[in-house]
A and B are shown apart, each in its own frame.
Chain A
Amino acid sequence: MSSATSTETGTATGADLAAPRSEELAALLVGQSRPPRPGALSASLTFGWRAMLKIKHVPEQLFDVTAFPIMMVLMYTYLFGGALAGSVSAYIQFLLPGILVMSVVMITMYTGVSVNTDIEKGVFDRFRTLPIWRPAPMVGYLLGDVVRYLIASAVMLTVGLVIGYRPDGGIVGVLLGVALLLVFSFSFSWIWTMFGLLLRSEKSVMGVSMMVIFPLTFLSNVFVDPKTMPGWLQAFVNNSPVTHLATAVRELMAGEWPAADIAWSLGWSVLFVAVFGAVTMRLYNRR
C-alpha cells in the first residue's frame, strides 16, 4: 500500500503534503540493534541540552536572569548606599556579593513554575516511559538552570564592576564565590521541583514560592550586619542558609577563606538534595 501521492495540491504547505513512505519505514524498523542504555550522567546532560535548546528557541526567558539582576544591583545600591554605608562605592563592596546571592536564589524560584507547566504536557509522559535513570529529567532541568544562574552572576558582576565594586579576592576569589553559589542554587532548587510537582497550578506554585523566598532572602545579612537586629531575629538570621552562603561568597570574593561558612553552605546543599530531591523523585514516580 504505497501512498506516494506527490501530485496533490492544497492549501497546506509543501512539507505537510509529503506522504510517509511505508517501504522506507519498513526498512528502518528491521534488523535494528538497540544500543546500551545511557548512564545517569549522560541522560542528565542530554536533558540539560534540552534546556539549552529551549533557551535558544525562546530567548525571552533570559529576561529574568539579565534585566532583573541589573535592576536589583542598581536599585539597592543607590537606595541604601548613602544611608547605610555613607557612600555608594563603600556600600557596593559589602552589598554586591550579597545581592548576587539574593538575586540568584530568588531566580531559582522559576524552576518550580517551568516544571509545573512542562509536566502537564504530553512530552513528560514520553520521558517517564523511557528506560533511563529516573531523576535525569529533573537533574537536566537544574543543569539548564545552572547556566541561567551563571548568566545572572556574570551580568551582576559586570554591572557591579562598572559602578565601583573591586573584589580583593581577584578572579580566583570571584570564581570560587560564584561556584559555591551555583552549587547551593542547584541543591536549593529541589525545593521548587517538589512544589512544581506537588501543586496543581502555575499560580499556586508562584504564590507558595514567594512565601518561601521573600523571608528567606530578606531575613539574612545581605543588606545589613545582623548586630542591630532584635535577638530573636538575630537567632534566625545567623542560622539562615542564605546568611551562611552570603557570608561565604562575600569573604571568598574579598580574598579570604571562610571555612565555617563554606562548610555550612555545602552542608545545607547536601541536606536540600537529600530531603527535597527524595520527595521530588517520590512525587515524580507517583504521578
Chain B
Amino acid sequence: MSDGVAVETEGLVKVFGGNRAVDGVDLRVPAGTVYGLLGPNGAGKTTAVKMLATLLRPDEGRARVFGHDVVAEADTVRGRVSLTGQYASVDEDLTGTENLVLLARLLGHGRPAARDRSAQLLDAFGLAEAADRQVKHYSGGMRRRIDIAASILNTPDLLFLDEPTTGLDPRSRNQVWDIVRAVVDQGTTVLLTTQYLDEADQLASRIAVIDHGRVIAEGTKGELKASVGSGSVHVRLRDPEQRPEAGRVLTTALNAEVQFDPDPVALTATVNGHGTDLGAAEQAARALAELARAGITVDNFALGQPSLDEVFLALTDRKGPAA
C-alpha cells in the first residue's frame, strides 16, 4: 500500500468551532516528488499539513503516511517526517548551533555526532558565521534556512514545508528553492504549501488547489494551467486613440475577451488557448504581428503567467471539484 505513495488521505475533515477548516480532502502524493498545496490564506493548507504531521487529530476521514495511519501509528509517522512550520520552528532564544545540537540529541545522536552534524549543516546552509548568534537576530531568510536545516538533521522520508518563502525577499526565496531541489534530488518527498502560483510552478510536479477546506483542482502544472488559460497579454500603446482598434485586433487574434485598463493606453487580454493548438507564446507573437500590420504603435508588450487570482477566479467560477 505504501509502495510509491508518500501521503494518502480520504475525506479528511477538521472542524474548529463551526468552521470546517478542512472539509473532505482526498490527496495522493507520489513518493519522491514535490507536491504543492496551493491556496489563499485560511484555505486550510496548514491545518491539513498539521494533521498529516500528527499535530492535529482529524475529526473525520483518515490519512496515511507511507502506509501508516497518522493517528493509530503516530509514532511511526513521526519517525519518518519532518515539519518546517509557517513560523520559525526553532527556538529563537537559542543560537543556531544550540538549536541544531538540541534537536540532533533528541533524534538520538551522541554529543560529538550532534556537534559534527550541526556544524556541517550550518556550513552547507551558509550559516557558519551566524552559528553562535541567537536565532532572534537572524534575518528572515536565515531563519528559514536554519529551520530547514533543523528538519533534515536526520534525512526525512517526507518533509512538510508550510509556506517556506512567505515574507522572504527574492534572493532568499531563490536560496530556499535551491535547498528544496537539493533535498528532493536525494529522494525525500516534499509536501509544500504555498500561496504563490509561481512557487508551486517552480518546485512542484503536482499541485492541489485548495479553497475553503476543499480541493478544487488537482493535477500536474500543465494540466492546471491548461484548465485556466495560459496567461495574459499586457499591451501598452503609444497613442490612446488607437486603443479601440487595438482591442478589436486582439479579440480576433486571441479569440478572447479584452479588458481596457484604467490607464488609457493599456489593455489586457487572456490567452486561453481556445480554438487553437498554438502555445501561449506563439499566440502572443501572432497577436503582436497583427497589431503591427494594423498600423498600431506598441510601446510595451508582455505575456504574463496567470496570477493565483486568475487561477482561483477561473477555478471557482466553474464551481465543483475538478479532481
Contacts and interface: CB of A to CB of B under 8 A. Distances in A.
Interface of A: 1, 3, 12-16, 18-22, 24-26, 28-30, 32, 34-38, 42-43, 46-47, 49-50, 53-54, 57-58, 121-123, 125-132, 136, 286-287
Report the 6 A-B pairs with minimum CB-CB distance, sorted nearest first. A18-B126, A15-B129, A35-B108, A29-B186, A126-B89, A24-B124
Interface in B294-323: none
Interface stretch (B76-84, B209-217, B269-277): B76-84
Nearest to A49: B102
Contacts of A132: 106
Contact of A129 (B78, B108, B120, B182): B78
A122 B179 CA distance: 21
B124 A28 contact: yes
B223 interface: no
A53 B78 CA distance: 26
B224 interface: no
5 contacts: A3-B178, A16-B142, A20-B124, A24-B120, A24-B123
Contact of A122 (B87, B98, B121, B123): B87
A18 B174 contact: no
Contacts, number: 152
Contact of A22 (B57, B93, B182): B182
B188 A22 contact: no
Given A125-B85, A131-B78, A22 B178 contact: yes
A127 B83 CA distance: 10
Interface of B: 50, 53-55, 57, 75, 78-79, 81-83, 85-94, 98, 102-103, 105-110, 113, 117, 120-121, 123-130, 133-134, 139, 141-142, 145, 150, 152, 154-155, 174-175, 178-179, 181-183, 185-186, 188
A45 to B, nearest CB: 9
Contact of A126 (B79, B103, B130): B103
A26 B182 contact: yes
A130 B124 contact: no
A57 B57 CA distance: 35
B175 A3 contact: yes
A15 B96 CA distance: 12
A38 B106 contact: yes
Nearest to B117: A28
A68 to B, nearest CB: 22
Contact of A14 (B103, B120, B129): B129
**Which of A13, A26, A126, A287 has most B Cβ within 10 Å?**
A126
